[in-house]
Amino acid sequence: MIGKILKPRGLRGELKVQVLTNKPEIFLSIKEIFIKDKSYMVMKSSVQNGFGYVSLDGVKNVEIADEMRGLELRIDKKDFKLDHDEIFEIDLIGFDIITESGQVLGKLECFENFGGGEVIVVGEYSIPYEDEFIVETNMKEKKIIVKDDVLTVEEIR
Protein backbone atom coordinates (compact mmCIF):
# COMPACT_ATOMS: atom_id res chain seq x y z
CA MET A 1 0.00 0.00 0.00
CA ILE A 2 1.42 3.36 -0.98
CA GLY A 3 -1.49 5.67 -0.26
CA LYS A 4 -5.09 6.30 0.65
CA ILE A 5 -7.46 8.34 -1.49
CA LEU A 6 -8.54 11.51 0.29
CA LYS A 7 -10.75 13.26 -2.25
CA PRO A 8 -11.12 14.31 -5.87
CA ARG A 9 -9.11 17.24 -7.14
CA GLY A 10 -10.79 19.16 -9.91
CA LEU A 11 -13.62 17.99 -12.15
CA ARG A 12 -11.77 15.46 -14.31
CA GLY A 13 -11.31 12.69 -11.73
CA GLU A 14 -7.82 13.42 -10.45
CA LEU A 15 -7.32 11.92 -6.98
CA LYS A 16 -5.63 13.54 -4.01
CA VAL A 17 -3.80 10.83 -2.06
CA GLN A 18 -2.38 10.61 1.45
CA VAL A 19 1.12 9.23 0.90
CA LEU A 20 1.74 6.17 3.10
CA THR A 21 5.28 5.38 2.07
CA ASN A 22 8.62 6.84 3.03
CA LYS A 23 9.34 7.16 -0.69
CA PRO A 24 6.72 9.55 -2.09
CA GLU A 25 8.71 9.78 -5.32
CA ILE A 26 7.21 6.39 -6.23
CA PHE A 27 4.17 8.37 -7.39
CA LEU A 28 6.30 9.85 -10.17
CA SER A 29 7.22 6.52 -11.73
CA ILE A 30 4.29 4.15 -11.23
CA LYS A 31 2.45 2.97 -14.31
CA GLU A 32 -0.16 0.73 -12.69
CA ILE A 33 -2.15 1.00 -9.44
CA PHE A 34 -4.50 -1.46 -7.79
CA ILE A 35 -7.63 -0.32 -5.97
CA LYS A 36 -9.78 -3.05 -4.44
CA ASP A 37 -8.02 -5.65 -6.63
CA LYS A 38 -8.84 -3.75 -9.82
CA SER A 39 -5.97 -2.55 -11.98
CA TYR A 40 -5.81 1.06 -13.24
CA MET A 41 -3.25 2.52 -15.60
CA VAL A 42 -1.75 5.77 -14.33
CA MET A 43 -2.22 8.54 -16.88
CA LYS A 44 -0.55 11.32 -14.86
CA SER A 45 0.95 11.62 -11.39
CA SER A 46 2.70 14.16 -9.20
CA VAL A 47 3.72 14.91 -5.64
CA GLN A 48 3.06 18.32 -4.13
CA ASN A 49 3.23 19.50 -0.52
CA GLY A 50 3.49 15.92 0.75
CA PHE A 51 0.43 14.63 -1.12
CA GLY A 52 0.27 12.41 -4.18
CA TYR A 53 -1.98 13.25 -7.12
CA VAL A 54 -2.94 10.66 -9.71
CA SER A 55 -5.13 10.55 -12.79
CA LEU A 56 -6.24 7.04 -13.64
CA ASP A 57 -7.58 5.55 -16.84
CA GLY A 58 -11.31 5.01 -16.33
CA VAL A 59 -11.67 7.65 -13.62
CA LYS A 60 -12.83 10.51 -15.81
CA ASN A 61 -14.98 12.72 -13.59
CA VAL A 62 -15.41 14.01 -10.06
CA GLU A 63 -18.37 11.69 -9.36
CA ILE A 64 -16.36 8.52 -10.00
CA ALA A 65 -13.39 9.92 -8.07
CA ASP A 66 -15.61 10.87 -5.13
CA GLU A 67 -16.82 7.26 -4.80
CA MET A 68 -13.18 6.23 -4.28
CA ARG A 69 -12.66 8.26 -1.10
CA GLY A 70 -10.94 6.24 1.62
CA LEU A 71 -9.79 3.43 -0.67
CA GLU A 72 -6.20 2.21 -0.61
CA LEU A 73 -3.76 2.51 -3.50
CA ARG A 74 -1.52 -0.50 -3.93
CA ILE A 75 1.26 -1.36 -6.33
CA ASP A 76 2.99 -4.58 -7.25
CA LYS A 77 6.01 -5.17 -5.01
CA LYS A 78 8.25 -5.55 -8.07
CA ASP A 79 7.53 -1.90 -8.96
CA PHE A 80 8.93 -0.63 -5.65
CA LYS A 81 12.69 -0.56 -5.25
CA LEU A 82 13.93 -1.09 -1.70
CA ASP A 83 17.25 -0.01 -0.25
CA HIS A 84 19.46 -2.84 1.04
CA ASP A 85 18.33 -2.36 4.65
CA GLU A 86 14.59 -2.05 3.95
CA ILE A 87 11.77 -4.59 4.00
CA PHE A 88 8.11 -4.60 3.08
CA GLU A 89 5.71 -4.48 6.03
CA ILE A 90 3.61 -7.19 4.40
CA ASP A 91 6.58 -9.56 4.64
CA LEU A 92 6.47 -9.25 8.45
CA ILE A 93 2.79 -10.14 8.89
CA GLY A 94 2.56 -13.37 10.88
CA PHE A 95 5.96 -12.96 12.55
CA ASP A 96 6.08 -14.01 16.20
CA ILE A 97 6.29 -11.05 18.58
CA ILE A 98 8.39 -11.96 21.62
CA THR A 99 9.72 -9.91 24.53
CA GLU A 100 13.41 -9.92 25.46
CA SER A 101 12.62 -12.23 28.38
CA GLY A 102 10.91 -14.73 26.05
CA GLN A 103 7.21 -13.97 26.61
CA VAL A 104 5.31 -14.72 23.39
CA LEU A 105 2.78 -11.95 22.73
CA GLY A 106 1.37 -13.50 19.56
CA LYS A 107 1.67 -13.00 15.83
CA LEU A 108 1.97 -9.65 14.09
CA GLU A 109 -1.51 -8.97 12.72
CA CYS A 110 -1.01 -5.69 10.89
CA PHE A 111 0.71 -2.34 10.79
CA GLU A 112 -1.14 0.88 11.50
CA ASN A 113 -0.08 4.46 11.04
CA PHE A 114 -2.00 7.27 12.68
CA GLY A 115 0.50 9.91 11.64
CA GLY A 116 3.03 9.37 14.42
CA GLY A 117 4.85 6.47 12.81
CA GLU A 118 4.38 2.78 12.17
CA VAL A 119 2.78 0.69 14.89
CA ILE A 120 2.62 -3.11 14.96
CA VAL A 121 -0.58 -4.68 16.24
CA VAL A 122 -0.38 -7.99 18.05
CA GLY A 123 -3.37 -9.20 20.04
CA GLU A 124 -4.30 -6.52 22.52
CA TYR A 125 -1.10 -4.52 22.07
CA SER A 126 -0.04 -1.70 19.81
CA ILE A 127 3.73 -1.33 19.72
CA PRO A 128 5.61 1.45 17.92
CA TYR A 129 7.93 -0.07 15.33
CA GLU A 130 10.89 2.08 16.37
CA ASP A 131 14.35 1.38 17.78
CA GLU A 132 13.17 2.57 21.20
CA PHE A 133 10.80 -0.43 21.43
CA ILE A 134 12.20 -3.04 19.02
CA VAL A 135 15.28 -5.06 19.86
CA GLU A 136 15.54 -7.10 16.67
CA THR A 137 13.66 -8.10 13.53
CA ASN A 138 14.86 -11.58 12.64
CA MET A 139 13.91 -12.41 9.06
CA LYS A 140 15.30 -15.97 9.17
CA GLU A 141 13.42 -17.00 12.32
CA LYS A 142 10.38 -14.86 11.44
CA LYS A 143 10.24 -13.09 14.76
CA ILE A 144 10.40 -9.60 16.18
CA ILE A 145 11.86 -9.16 19.64
CA VAL A 146 10.49 -6.22 21.62
CA LYS A 147 11.77 -4.69 24.84
CA ASP A 148 10.32 -6.13 28.04
CA ASP A 149 8.91 -2.81 29.21
CA VAL A 150 6.87 -2.36 26.01
CA LEU A 151 3.89 -4.07 27.67
CA THR A 152 3.47 -1.13 30.03
CA VAL A 153 3.45 1.39 27.17
CA GLU A 154 0.14 1.07 25.36
CA GLU A 155 -2.62 -1.50 25.49
CA ILE A 156 -5.16 -0.99 22.70
CA ARG A 157 -7.88 -3.60 23.07
Side chain identity at residue 44, one-letter code: K
- Report the top-level CATH class of 89-152: mainly beta
List pLDDT tens digits, range 72-122.
999 887 777 777 777 778 889 999 999 999 999 999 998 887 767 788 899
Running DSSP on this structure, what letter comes out for residue 89? G
pLDDT tens sequence across 3-47: 999 999 999 999 999 988 877 888 888 899 999 989 999 999 999
Predicted pLDDT of residue 65? 95
> Which one, of 50, 39, 63, lies nearest residue 16 by Cα?
50
**Predicted model pTM:** 0.64
Instruction: Determine the Cα–Cα distance for residues 150 and 154; give it in Å rounded to an integer.
Output: 8
Confidence class for position 152, pLDDT limits 50, 70, 90: low
Going by the DSSP 8-state scheme, the letter that residue 28 receives in this structure is G
Q: Can you give the residue ranges of every domain in the chain?
A: 3-79, 89-152
Annotation: CATH topology of 3-79? Elongation Factor Tu (Ef-tu); domain 3 (2.40.30)
Q: Strand, coil or helix: what is 53?
A: strand
